[in-house]
């Protein structure tokens, strides 16, 4: 048994179908600016009010991958948590996220392969109860047992 498993981590031995975890975060102008800096994606639809007004969005929007990053945070911090290895993620963007929106990112266990330590998660982000992003993630969950 491993005694150094981080608090809050859910090991493959304890993961159950239907388990869910979520986080709630307001997306700020600073978040968007920092994401643009780190990713080097400086598309003006994210950063320039005047430019963004003349787009189909009629205003600035957050980077889609910033929103998707909230899914990664739930997976890496809560379900399964620390020690999880991302294996794949599909994403479908349904609506824009704007500065000031409060995003709820949620994951739900939909399949478990205990022998391979693989977990399939339904992933979604919502703003005011409306889905703005949906997808599916496959992760390698931590285990209490030695490999």
- Which residues contact residue 52 at a Cβ distance below 8 angstroms, ignoring those fewer than 6 apart? 44, 45, 46, 58, 59, 60, 61
Domain that holds residue 69: 19-140
pLDDT in tens, 19-70: 999 999 999 999 999 999 999 999 999 999 999 999 999 999 999 999 999 9
pLDDT-derived band at 6, boundaries 50, 70, 90: low
Residue 11 located in a structural domain: no
Residue 2 located in a structural domain: no
Residue 60 located in a structural domain: yes
Residue 138 has pLDDT above 50, yes or no: yes
What is the pTM (predicted TM-score) of this model?
Answer: 0.92
The rounded distance, in Å, linking the Cα atoms of 65 and 135 is: 13
Residue 40 located in a structural domain: yes
Angle CA 134–138–140, to nearest 5: 145
Residue 96 located in a structural domain: yes
Q: Which candidate, 19, 13, 46, 23, places its Cα nearest to that of 105? A: 23
Residue 147 has pLDDT above 50, yes or no: no
Indicate the range of 5-19, 23-37, 92-106, 115-129 predicted with least confidence.
Answer: 5-19
Instruction: Determine what percent of the chain is predicted with pLDDT higher than 90.
Output: 92
Residue 59 located in a structural domain: yes
Asked if 33 and 102 count as a contact pair (C-beta separation under 8 A), the reply is no
CATH at 98: 3.10.129.10
The rounded distance, in Å, linking the Cα atoms of 37 and 108 is: 31
> How many domains, in total, are found in the chain?
1
Residue 146 located in a structural domain: no
The rounded distance, in Å, linking the Cα atoms of 90 and 124 is: 11
């Amino acid at each position: 048994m491993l005694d150094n498993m981080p608090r809050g981590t859910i090991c493959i031995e304890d993961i159950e179908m239907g388990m869910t975890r979520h986080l709630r975060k307001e997306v700020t102008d600073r978040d968007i600016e920092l994401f643009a800096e780190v990713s080097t994606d400086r598309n003006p639809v994210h950063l320039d009010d005047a430019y963004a007004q003349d787009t189909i969005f009629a205003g600035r929007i957050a980077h889609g991958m910033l929103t998707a990053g909230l899914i990664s945070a739930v997976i890496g911090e809560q379900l399964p948590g620390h020690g999880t290895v991302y294996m794949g993620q599909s994403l479908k963007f349904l609506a824009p996220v704007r500065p000031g929106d409060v995003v709820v990112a949620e994951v739900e266990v939909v399949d478990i392969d205990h022998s391979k330590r693989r977990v399939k998660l339904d992933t979604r982000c919502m703003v005011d109860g409306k889905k703005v992003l949906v997808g599916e993630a496959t992760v390698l969950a931590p285990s209490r047992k030695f490999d």
